[in-house]
Amino acid sequence: MPIIDGRAIASRRREALREEVARLAESGITPTIAPIIVGDDPSARLYYRAKGRLARELGIGYAGIELPAQVSQEELLRKIDDLNNDPHIDGIFVEMPLPKHISRDAVARSVSPDKDVDGITPLSLGTLIVASASAESYRQLQETAGEALPATAHAVMEILLEEGVQLAGANVVVVGDSLSVGKPLSLLMLTEQATVTVCHIRTRSLKQHTKSADVLCVAVGHPNLITPSMVKKGAVVIDIGINATEDGVVGDVDYEGVAPLAGLITPVPGGVGPMTTTMIMQHVVARASHRA
């Protein structure tokens, strides 16, 4: 049961980012990210704090904005517009979930595509769809789409390739069909000639699908949804969920039960999360390089 150490993989990537940040500093440019959090969702708060820690570690500027849950959509969009027009901000990241009175679509449309570091804008998503249709591999798609790739999906692919997981011909099951993770991840998997099934929490006979997976990726935000009886022995299990519970932070997979069955598995915390924040910072540095 080899555990995928996301922190170690991320640490190696961060060394290269530090060098690039130092090179940009010589040109008088400090890559700067502006994360926005609305309300106090525990999972969103975890990622918001993690970005602050990593930005400081890498020498990246951090202009985080915290807004109360009752803030109006109009006020949030005004804040985003201010960031769009700030020449010193390279990346804007809006933490999810948002309060119910705020439209995710309106927020995604308000972010400048030039400062989108999580692939949420219509232009970024369109770029991903079009590029994935013609790409002969994930690496080719990465060259074309670049920082338009959604950070979490980008992180999962980098982890799988780093671990040498063969995706061509593999039966990949993605549980979770969100625009930020599930849908884009399925497109990235297809560029590697995987056979992809996308499910969600209400899929009938979910176990029937997950049990057939050579690679199982789960991103629904439901603690311990995937139990041992739902996993094929030797499968690669990528737990993308992050859930703040009374017992601490847990994923969407029953780690203790599933780990002995898995060929490879990501823990929570310490798996996909560190790579996701690293990919976000990689996208910010790339945006700053364009500015340079």
Q: Return the pLDDT at 244.
A: 85
Would 165 be classed as within a structural domain? yes
pLDDT of the residue at 105:
96
CA distances from 140 to 131, 134, 192, 250, 260 (A): 9, 9, 10, 34, 35
For the CA atoms of 9, 184, 242, 83, the dihedral, rounded to the nearest 10 degrees, stands at 90
252-261 tens-digit pLDDT: 999 999 999 9
In the prediction, which pLDDT does 1 show?
59
What are the pLDDT digits (tens) for 46-77?
A: 899 999 999 999 999 999 999 999 999 999 99
pLDDT of residue 26: 94
**How many domains in the chain?**
2
How many CB atoms sit inside 10 A of residue 112's CB? 15
Which carries the bigger pLDDT value, residue 148 or residue 83? 83
Residues 6+ apart with CB under 8 A from 122: 108, 109
- If asked whether residues 104 and 178 sit together in one domain, one would say no
Predicted structure pTM score = 0.95
Mean pLDDT of 263-287: 97
CATH assignment at residue 219? 3.40.50.720
> Which pLDDT band holds residue 247 (cuts at 50, 70, 90)?
confident
pLDDT digits (tens, 9 = 90+) for 176-227: 999 889 999 999 999 999 999 999 999 999 999 999 999 999 999 999 999 9
Q: Domain holding 100: CATH number?
A: 3.40.50.10860
